[in-house]
Structure 1
Amino acid sequence: MSISTPDLCDEHGDAVRVIELQFRHYGAVTQFGGQVQTIKCFEDNSLVAEQVKTPGEGRVLVVDGGGSPRRSLLGDNLASAAVKNGWAGIVIFGYLRDVEEIAPMELGVMALGSVPRKTEKRGEGQLGVNLHFGGCEIGCGDFLYADETGVIVASQALQG
């Protein structure tokens, strides 16, 4: 998949929302996109673990972890499950771990950074809710596109 977020922004103007954060790429896929499934959680990746084990069907999991650097919301086991189940990518407003193991995986993975500490599993969080971070509102069912330049969101699928 060839994606250029600058070209999509130029072509679609105000129909595109830019997430105003500096994410890092961690997976082997650096250009990815798809329909969004949202999760809001804080230092508890129970819902992330559940979702990556369901059919991804080329979707992108967007996780609002509140930007917390204290706990990892994704590790190699969950990233591997996402690959196996056909997720196109995972974007985390938060942190992940197992950087070396995730790097070769055929999955788009973006996060703010990495931290070795795992989360507590308390079964908390919300699935399919509207998220707001990085100056951008992201809804379940929106479309997300990512490349080395940045991450954008649109209400409908974009043709580049």
Structure 2
Amino acid sequence: MTTSTTDLCDAHCDRLNDGRMAVLAPFYISFGKRRAFSGHAVTLQVTDDNALVRATLETPGAGRVLVIDGGGSQRCALVGGQLALLAQANGWSGIIVDGCVRDVDELNAADIGIRAKAVHPRRGGKLGAGHRDTIIHIAGTHIRPGDWIVADADGILVSREALN
């Protein structure tokens, strides 16, 4: 990724104004070695259960970004060190969690970009409940499977089309 989110916002004001592009509310914490990442979105909706997260990260990432609607829950973590390493090994560009993560030192050692709302030491459930490839709503923005995600130190953008 070479173009910053600030430059993309400046270059695409029309997309911001007509809703083809949006900026997620600025309350995500950055983890992982990749401070900037981009790719097409794969969406999940889960509640305090990360079995579907694991199952998704076990598949080839092909440079995509996993966006997890965890309902903003602060009851447990949906991503930890093992899942970050799994994502790295399978070629995922990044993970965005509308919820918590854990194993901060392990997350920061992984060559992947991760954004989350908070940190929590408790692991998520393992029932496999949730939905994949559905429209989700996080941080004031609807995200569809295949939307283009760009994240860097200045924020997270969601666009209907790929941006360069």
Q: Give the TM-score, by structure 1 length.
A: 0.97
- Report the counterpart of residue 95 of structure 1 in structure 2: 100
- Report the counterpart of residue 10 of structure 2 in structure 1: 10
* Alignment of 1:55 onto 2:81: no
- Corresponding letter in the other structure for 2:23: V
1:96–1:51 Cα change, 3 Å: same
Contact 1:3 1:147 in 2 (8 A): no
Displaced runs of 4 or more, over 6 A: none
Deviation, structure 1 residue 49? 0.4
Distance 1:120 1:97 in 2: 14
Deviation, structure 1 residue 41? 0.3
1:55 aligns to what SS in structure 2? coil
* Alignment of 1:109 onto 2:114: yes
- Deviation string 1:126-157 (CA, Å, 9 cap, x unpaired) is 00000112111100010000001110100010
1:2 aligns to what SS in structure 2? coil
Deviation, structure 1 residue 123? 1.2
Distance 2:2 2:36 in 1: 6
- Report the counterpart of residue 77 of structure 2 in structure 1: 72
- Structure 1: gaps (5+ residues): none
Distance 2:65 2:124 in 1: 21
2:106 aligns to what SS in structure 1? helix
Distance 1:92 1:30 in 2: 15
Which residue, 125, 130, 134 being the options, matches 1:125? 130
